[in-house]
């Protein structure tokens, strides 16, 4: 975290468009290249937001929101196309060093659990965030469906990360427990979907009983 902090601070101190360009490229690659899930995402957004509050900082919060939301959208779109056109080749064993099979399995399970909402919710989960659009491309999800959740997820993720840093990033307690803050955000964001899934599981036995009852009546 300290090294990343120094890196982003040094970029902001340059006072040139180089800083914006490098941050843009990092977000683009972290979301757009399936082999780069290790790049900083949440922490980078948070730091950019917190640095934007400092006196004489080159970073402008409004510009960060616009540029990085576009980078997030563009990255997921690129990743979707990679999965759509090259996904089957890239999931072969020879690529397993770069694209971890266990990460793919977790992402597939995430998709099975949340469906199209996984494109939006996956934004808030490291590693999965990079693999969700790739998996969506492999599964041939309709692009208009993917694009809708991509736009919503990109704006929500970037806004939450940057504005959290902007308003709370310079509070020592928040800065020292950033990972816990992001975990809490992930849990809160998943609650509506978990409740829907829980209700479906409750209603499922009732539906089975109804179907069995109908079958018995038809036999009579």
- Report yes or no: 8 and 48 within 8 Å, Cβ to Cβ: yes
pLDDT category at 220 given cuts 50, 70, 90 is: very low
- How far is Cα 178 from Cα 184, in angstroms, rounded to an integer? 10
* Residues 17-44: tens digit of each pLDDT: 888 888 999 999 999 999 888 888 888 8
pLDDT tens, 59-95?
Answer: 889 999 999 999 999 999 999 999 999 988 888 888 8
- Cα gap 181→68, rounded to integer Å: 21
Whether 120 shows a pLDDT value over 70: the answer reads yes
Contacts for 161 with CB less than 8 Å, ≥ 6 apart = 41, 42, 44, 45, 46, 49
* Residue 215 token pair: 């079958």
Lowest mean pLDDT among 13-22, 45-54, 118-127, 196-205: 196-205
């Amino acid at each position: 975290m300290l090294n990343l902090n120094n890196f982003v601070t040094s970029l902001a101190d340059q006072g040139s468009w180089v800083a914006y360009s490098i941050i843009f490229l990092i977000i683009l690659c972290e979301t757009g290249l399936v082999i780069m899930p290790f790049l900083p995402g949440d922490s980078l957004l948070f730091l950019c937001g917190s640095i934007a509050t400092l006196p004489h900082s080159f970073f402008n919060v409004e510009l960060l929101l616009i540029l990085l939301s576009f980078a997030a959208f563009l990255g997921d779109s690129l990743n979707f196309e990679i999965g759509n056109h090259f996904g089957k080749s890239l999931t072969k064993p020879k690529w397993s060093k770069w694209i971890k099979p266990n990460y793919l399995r977790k992402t597939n399970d995430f998709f099975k659990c949340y469906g199209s909402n996984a494109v939006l919710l996956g934004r808030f989960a490291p590693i999965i965030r990079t693999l969700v659009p790739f998996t969506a491309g492999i599964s041939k999800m309709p692009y208009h469906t993917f694009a809708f959740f991509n736009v919503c997820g990109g704006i929500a993720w970037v806004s939450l990360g940057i504005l959290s840093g902007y308003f709370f990033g310079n509070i020592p307690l928040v800065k020292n427990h950033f990972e816990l803050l992001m975990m809490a955000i992930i849990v809160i964001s998943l609650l509506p979907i978990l409740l829907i899934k829980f209700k479906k599981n409750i209603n499922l036995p009732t539906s089975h009983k109804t179907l069995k009852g109908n079958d018995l009546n038809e036999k009579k």
